[in-house]
Chains A and B, each alone.
Chain A
Amino acid sequence: MRRIKKSIMTCCCISILFMGGCWDRIDIEDMGLACGVGVDYQESSAKRLTPEFTIQFVVPKVLAGENGGGGSQAEPFQNLTMDESSLFEAGREASTVTSRSPNYAHLKVLVISKEAAQSINLLQLLNFFFRDHEIRRTVHVLISEEKASEILSIKGTKDPVPALKLLSITENMEKKTAKMPPILSLGDFSEKMSASSSFLVQKVQKFKEGVQIIGAAVIKGNTQKMIGELNEDETFGINCITGEAKAGAVTGVDKETDKIISYEIDRLKSSIKSKVNGEDISYTVNINTEGRLSEDWIPKSDAFNEKFIRNAEKQVEREFMRLMEAGLAKTQKELKVDVAGFGESLRINQPKVWKKVKKNWEERFPEASIDINVKVKIRQFQTQGRKMNK
């Protein structure tokens, strides 16, 4: 009996040696979960441009204790700003000041300041993010008007962690508004860059006490730098051309009464058709949208009357045209970039022509003529059709 006991004991003791766990275990309490990072441009005397790297950690303890009376004034997040010649090194240097080294596996948002995006080649600047195995391709990228570290320290009242708040706002594009370009993930960023095509990035700026994501930053594919920005109208126009404006409001003005009519997009479809005639490349863009009448200020409006609806559609169409023309004027004529997928349409439908013009596409693109046709269909006018009885 004793012998058996002894042998069991020995077995247990020996097995402890082998059951220490794997080399790579990190206890979850010891992880510094980075949920947002910001990149700024540091003006310094050094020979090289030095980026400034801000890491935002969540502090789960404070988040969990939120409903515990609110006695402590501790923030649920912690920002760390480092400046080093490479972002990776800056991330490592963070380990000299925080007990929990950053882990990027749950990174959600990357904010790049406008200054940095304009002065540093983004392909170089973001290499660390593309390369690191912890960072996912789904991280949302934003460009900020102010310094990224500043944007990341503005905390929301409903969402106490700034990075997570930004994340939720970016997602509104799909359901509520088209005044910002579609979400651009780190993966999309890399895909666009690898094809050296130009694209739009959501832009964040300070708004009163909080932040606002509105308009777009334009990144030029050839130079891999930010070269300009679109305001909300231009962004909306481009979103319509690409067919990404799946939701959002358009407010037209009635010609007769000079009062506003608001239309809400339910569905929007766009098709870009290319036509090649010798050296000339021309496009026809057809937009078909269905939606609802959400608001009008015309005193004698009568949605039960088909004529009124048709007229409203006309006015909204006019507004659509204005937005898209504004978007095209800015991107095609002024900034001379193709962010609405015109080159993509050529690549798919006319691969032979595309092969020829691919190299200097953005020099050719401003000369292309673009026709736009819009068809608005008001499907419903909701609960009240008339303001006053006649």
Chain B
Amino acid sequence: MNSSNEKITFIQATVVLTMTIIGVGIVTLPRVSAEEVQTPDIWISMILGGGISIVVAFFITKLCLQFKGMTIYQFSPILVGKWAGFVFNLFIIMYFILVAGYQARSMAEVLRAYLLDKTPIEVVIIVYIAVGVYIVISGIYSIVKLLQIYFPVVLVFILLMLALSITNVDFNNLRPVLGGGFIPVLKGIKPTTLSLAGIESYLILMAYMHQSKKAMKAAAVGIFIALFLYILIVIAVIGALTVDEVRLLTWPTLELVKSIEMKVLLLERFESFFIILWVITTFTSFIMNFHFASLGLSQVFKKAYKPFVYGLIPFVYLCAMYPEDINGVFKLGGYIGNMAIVVAGIIPILLLIIAFIRRKRNAKN
């Protein structure tokens, strides 16, 4: 695969990041963050979370720039030694597999709740993974092109959904701003930052980028687009349903979509359209994570890529089916969030410090 002389362009890198970030969060973020913040100031937490994400992106791109054309799987053994690198890589791969499974399961749970009541959830997940494998097997460049096609679709659907729900939004529900002081806002930073997880994809993606020097800019733009869409969604959901109500609902965004009723446009049951959006957004995150996991295995064991894609199918499936019920799925989401802190935050910063010390030492010698 590395033999291909294709490269990912700036715009593609931006799109990939946005599409990786936007995933399950569109339906869970409002409740999870409302649970923590409990005042309507979630959007402020979102902005702060976006700031943190950009700082993290800065560290990640700084680190990857030192090893041009290499993924983290390749350079971590060089940096910290064979065995420590192996452990790091395995942890990152596990994270990607879990995220893929989580995306698949969340997608299926929503589908079961609103559309396919009697269809066994296993079937939905298997079909979803099968389609995913079909694209993952053909490698990063095909995936990137697919995301490029999906990107405008997702953008239009989200904006359409927001435009249609604007009549339900009561801005009084978003007031008072900072009524409870700054502490609730700070409480919300963790869930909102985690909803923007996805920047870790640059640990791998930068190796395939055409101009890796512009990676920081691409990351910033990508995060900004995702952040912007998420903030709009949060404002719409809180504005239409109130914070107190959002905390009661399993899938607040879907409830907002369900309350869209436009007699003028003869439009009811917009949720059917939303389900399309939902499947696409989770699918893009799913294939990216699936790809990163199988690529990781192939690079760690220095073997061909395709067998690992097939080999991972049962693991992804097991991760998806591991949670017993919906609360289990939310719990898994929580664990993944904590893992994301390690993968996107702690590991890159640690590696960056080590690289920095090494370079100093080399300079001395």
Question: Measuring CB to CB, which residues of chain A are less than 8 angstroms from any residue of chain B?
Answer: 22-24, 105, 133, 136-138, 185, 187, 190-191, 194-195, 344, 347-349, 351-352, 354-355
The reply to whether A195 and B117 contact each other, CB–CB distance below 8 Å, is: no
Q: Nearest A residue to B261 by beta-carbon distance?
A: A138
Residues on B with C-beta less than 8 A from A187 are 241, 245, 255, 259
- Select the stretch in B78-86, B174-182, B191-199, B338-346 that faces chain A: B174-182
Interface residues on B, range: 20 to 34
Residues on B with C-beta less than 8 A from A355 are 180
Q: Nearest A residue to B256 by beta-carbon distance?
A: A137
The reply to whether A190 and B114 contact each other, CB–CB distance below 8 Å, is: no
The reply to whether B179 and A194 contact each other, CB–CB distance below 8 Å, is: no
User: Mind listing 24 A-B residue pairs with CB under 8 Å?
Assistant: A23-B116, A23-B118, A23-B119, A24-B117, A24-B118, A24-B119, A133-B113, A136-B259, A137-B259, A138-B259, A138-B261, A187-B245, A190-B245, A190-B248, A191-B245, A347-B179, A348-B172, A348-B175, A348-B176, A348-B179, A349-B176, A351-B179, A351-B180, A352-B179
Q: Nearest A residue to B263 by beta-carbon distance?
A: A171
The reply to whether B176 and A351 contact each other, CB–CB distance below 8 Å, is: yes
Residues on B with C-beta less than 8 A from A23 are 116, 118-120, 123
The reply to whether A22 and B176 contact each other, CB–CB distance below 8 Å, is: no
Q: Count how many pairs of residues, one from A and one from B, have CB atoms less than 8 Å apart in the complex.
A: 57
Known: A187-B259, A194-B248, A347-B176. 15 other contacts (CB 8 A): A23-B118, A24-B115, A24-B116, A24-B117, A105-B269, A137-B259, A185-B259, A194-B242, A195-B245, A344-B172, A348-B176, A349-B176, A352-B179, A354-B179, A355-B180
Interchain CA distance A24-B242 in the complex, whole Å: 33
- Give the residue of A137, A191, A348, A354 whose beta carbon is less than 8 angstroms from that of B242: A191
Residues on A with C-beta less than 8 A from B118 are 23-24
The reply to whether B119 and A194 contact each other, CB–CB distance below 8 Å, is: no
Of B115, B120, B242, the most chain A CB neighbours within 10 A belong to: B242
Residues on B with C-beta less than 8 A from A24 are 115-119
- Given A24-B119, A133-B113, the answer on whether A194 and B244 have CB atoms closer than 8 Å is yes
Interchain CA distance A348-B258 in the complex, whole Å: 27
Interface of B is mostly: loop
The reply to whether B258 and A22 contact each other, CB–CB distance below 8 Å, is: no
A234 to chain B: closest CB distance in Å?
A: 24
Question: Measuring CB to CB, which residues of chain B are less than 8 angstroms from any residue of chain A?
Answer: 113-120, 123, 172, 175-176, 179-180, 241-242, 244-245, 247-248, 255, 258-259, 261, 269
Interchain CA distance A352-B113 in the complex, whole Å: 40
A25 to chain B: closest CB distance in Å?
A: 9
The reply to whether B172 and A137 contact each other, CB–CB distance below 8 Å, is: no
Closest 4 CB pairs of A and B: A351-B179, A23-B119, A194-B244, A137-B259
Q: Nearest A residue to B271 by beta-carbon distance?
A: A136
- Given A137-B258, A138-B261, A349-B176, the answer on whether A194 and B245 have CB atoms closer than 8 Å is yes
A177 to chain B: closest CB distance in Å?
A: 19
B40 to chain A: closest CB distance in Å?
A: 10
The reply to whether A22 and B248 contact each other, CB–CB distance below 8 Å, is: no
Residues on B with C-beta less than 8 A from A191 are 241-242, 244-245
Interchain CA distance A288-B232 in the complex, whole Å: 33
Residues on A with C-beta less than 8 A from B242 are 191, 194-195
A277 to chain B: closest CB distance in Å?
A: 20
Residues on B with C-beta less than 8 A from A348 are 172, 175-176, 179
The reply to whether B258 and A136 contact each other, CB–CB distance below 8 Å, is: yes
Q: Nearest B residue to A137 by beta-carbon distance?
A: B259
- Given A344-B172, A355-B180, the answer on whether A22 and B119 have CB atoms closer than 8 Å is yes
B128 to chain A: closest CB distance in Å?
A: 14
A30 to chain B: closest CB distance in Å?
A: 14
Of B180, B241, B247, the most chain A CB neighbours within 10 A belong to: B241
Residues on A with C-beta less than 8 A from B245 are 187, 190-191, 194-195
Q: Nearest A residue to B123 by beta-carbon distance?
A: A23
Q: Nearest B residue to A191 by beta-carbon distance?
A: B245
Residues on B with C-beta less than 8 A from A190 are 245, 248
Residues on A with C-beta less than 8 A from B255 are 137, 187
B167 to chain A: closest CB distance in Å?
A: 12
Residues on A with C-beta less than 8 A from B261 are 136, 138
Interchain CA distance A22-B119 in the complex, whole Å: 8
Residues on A with C-beta less than 8 A from B123 are 23
Interchain CA distance A349-B179 in the complex, whole Å: 9
The reply to whether B259 and A195 contact each other, CB–CB distance below 8 Å, is: no
Residues on A with C-beta less than 8 A from B117 are 24
Interchain CA distance A352-B180 in the complex, whole Å: 7
Residues on A with C-beta less than 8 A from B259 are 136-138, 185, 187
Residues on B with C-beta less than 8 A from A136 are 258-259, 261
- Give the residue of B113, B120, B175, B244 whose beta carbon is less than 8 angstroms from that of A195: B244
B173 to chain A: closest CB distance in Å?
A: 9
Interchain CA distance A191-B255 in the complex, whole Å: 12
The reply to whether A133 and B114 contact each other, CB–CB distance below 8 Å, is: yes
Q: Nearest B residue to A351 by beta-carbon distance?
A: B179
Q: Nearest A residue to B269 by beta-carbon distance?
A: A105
Interchain CA distance A190-B255 in the complex, whole Å: 12
- Give the residue of A22, A105, A185, A352 whose beta carbon is less than 8 angstroms from that of B116: A22
Residues on A with C-beta less than 8 A from B258 are 136-138
B113 to chain A: closest CB distance in Å?
A: 6
Q: Nearest B residue to A194 by beta-carbon distance?
A: B244
Q: Nearest A residue to B175 by beta-carbon distance?
A: A348
A172 to chain B: closest CB distance in Å?
A: 14
Interchain CA distance A137-B269 in the complex, whole Å: 11
B261 to chain A: closest CB distance in Å?
A: 5
B321 to chain A: closest CB distance in Å?
A: 18
Interchain CA distance A185-B118 in the complex, whole Å: 29
B197 to chain A: closest CB distance in Å?
A: 29
Q: Nearest A residue to B115 by beta-carbon distance?
A: A24
